[in-house]
Structures are given as C-alpha cells and as structure tokens.
Amino acid sequence: MKAGVITFPGSNCDDDVVDSLKKVGGFDVERLWHKDTPDLSSFALVVLPGGFSYGDYLRCGAMAARSPIMEKVKNFSSKGGFVLGICNGFQILCESGLLPGALARNLSLNFICKDVTVKIETVETPWTRSTEKNTTLTLPIAHGEGRFVIDNDGYEELVKNSQIVLTYQNNPNGSTHNIAGVCNKNNNVFGLMPHPERATDLRIHDGLKIWSSLKIQLGLHS
Amino acid sequence: MKARIHVFYKDSVFDPQGSTVEESLKRMGFNKIKNIRMGRVIDLEMDYDSKEEAKRDVTKMCERLLANPVIESFKHEILD
C-alpha cells in the first residue's frame, strides 16, 4: 500500500517518518517533493512531516500550505485519502484550512523538547483505533509554536463532532483545552504536535500505536 | 507606490511576547504601561497605477497569506 512523505524546504523529520513507516511495515513508501504535483490517486496515506518549512518565516507552515503539492493533498483528502500532519505538518494542515484552528507561539516562549503524556480522547478514528479511550501515550514534542488556538464556537464544533483526538496531561504550551491533536470532520485528516515517528524504538514506542491503528484501518496486518 | 501592513494577534489571542516585553519595561520603571501587543510590519514596494487597485490586492495578500484570519488581524496603508 502506497504512503507518500512530503519534503518541504526545511522539513527535517521526513527521514524519520520514512524509517518508521518501513519499520511498521506494509507500506510502499514514496518520497514526494513540495513543488511537484503528483497524481495521488494510488496512495493510501500522505504524511506531512515535522521540521521548519521555509525557515518558519512569516508563520509556521504558512508558505508550505501554499506549495504546489498542497492542492493535490486537498484534493486527495476530499476523496477520503488519509493525511497525517506531524508538528510542522500539523501547522501546515491548519494553515491550509484542512484542519480547524491555528498554532501560535508557546505561552512560555520557550522551544520545548521533551516527552509528554497525552490522553486518547476518542478511539473512533483511523488513527487511534488500536488504542483504548482515556489511556495515555508517551510521545516526544519539539516545538516553539505548538499552542493550539481555536475560538469558542470552533471548540464546541470540535467537541460535538468528537474531533479532539489527543489532549496533554500537563499542558506544555498553553493549548486551548489542552488540545494536542485534532481530526477533520471525516476523521481522514489528522494533525498532532507530538512526534509518533520518534517513538518507535526501545526507549519509547507508543508511536507504534498510531501507526498500527492506521494499518488496521487500511486492512494491513498489524 | 508603497504599502505598509501591520499584522497582530487578535485581541482574543494571548500574546506572550508582548506580555514579556511589558513585564521587562515595567521592571525598568515604566509603570504607566497598560498593555503591549507585538506584531509584524511588512513593507511592500509595488507597481500599480491606482491606489484603489493596490489597496484591493494588498487586502487579498493579507487575507490569503500575510495574516492568518483564525488568530490574526491586519491593517494596511497605501503610501505614495
């Protein structure tokens, strides 16, 4: 099953995503370049990795969201294709309008790089299917602009549609209602600030639960 | 023709940078400060025939890239 990993200028977690997808197996991983406009119809999954696309100039993810490939990603997601945005990828998905809300400067103004505990708010998504509700995952974060911001109406909408997937146990960055990861209404687009691809080894491995959920969703043997 | 664009977090979004600078200035003795908001200034040089046309396009640029309507507000002025 084909999975695409997009590299924007300044992406730096693309190799980690490729490695972790190869590790969990079942995916035929293909690298994609932000300036290209590939036919994504044969893909099951497209991942926007973390990093500092366009040097984080203007706003994190702002210019990457206007890359040529993003029109293809929007089209792919509108047809039900699975899109995952990690860290800077999450910022790009919000900037492109594929996910609600925005990511602003951390309240502390610090770049925070540490392991955090996040709670599973819903298992009714392709990304959390193999987890249990209200259990926790330990995943690393590494960001300066990870404070999820959404207005009250937007938040009500997220709650109503069960779009809040992950929340921080000890909010590290001031995110509204401790939100660490959200889905779109159809659950096929998911963005999160923590890095599941960096949690697939002996030290921490909860990232595997996200990947294995997706494999179950796609009918791949986990 | 030139344009100057100002982009700020909306009032409803907390601005940690402004708040930190505010605290420092107060510590330095500037006690009369009530609030500081930090933003971004973008200067553009353009080649338009009319101010109206320039204004319309600058507004579009702000809406589509230079500001994020979810968290930011903008204003701009067209200068000769």
Distance CA A151, CA B12 (A): 8
Q: Which of A32-36, A200-204, B16-20, B69-73 is the least confident region?
A: A200-204
pTM of the prediction? 0.95
Indicate the residue of B17, B20, B71 with minimum beta-carbon distance to A102. B71
* B21-31 confidence digits (pLDDT tens): 999 999 999 99
* pLDDT, average across residues A166-170: 98
Contact A105 B12 (CB under 8 A): no
Domain of A194 in residue numbering reads as 2-218
* Inter-chain Cβ pairs, chain A and chain B, closer than 8 A: 33
Across the interface, do B17 and A105 touch by the CB < 8 Å criterion? yes
Instruction: Work out how many domains chain A is built from and give that number.
Output: 1
A70, A64 in Cβ contact below 8 A?
yes
- Looking up residue A58, the CATH number of its domain turns out to be 3.40.50.880
Tokens 């259990």 -> residue: A135
Q: With an 8 Å Cβ cutoff, are A59 and B68 in contact?
A: yes
pLDDT of residue A202: 86
Residues A164 and A178: their CA atoms lie apart, in Å, by: 10
pLDDT at A98 over 80: yes
How many whole angstroms separate alpha carbon A217 and alpha carbon A208? Answer: 14
Is residue A146 within 8 Å of A109, Cβ to Cβ? no
Chain A positions touching B36 (Cβ under 8 A) are none
Report the percent of chain A where pLDDT is more than 90: 95
The distance in angstroms from the start CA to the end CA of chain A is 13
Q: Which of A62, A100, A102 sits opposite B65 (nearest CB)?
A: A62
| Nearest-CB residue to B16 (from A59, A109, A151) | A109
pLDDT of residue A220: 85
Please give, rounded to a whole number of angstroms, the shortest distance from the CA of B1 to a CA of chain A: 23
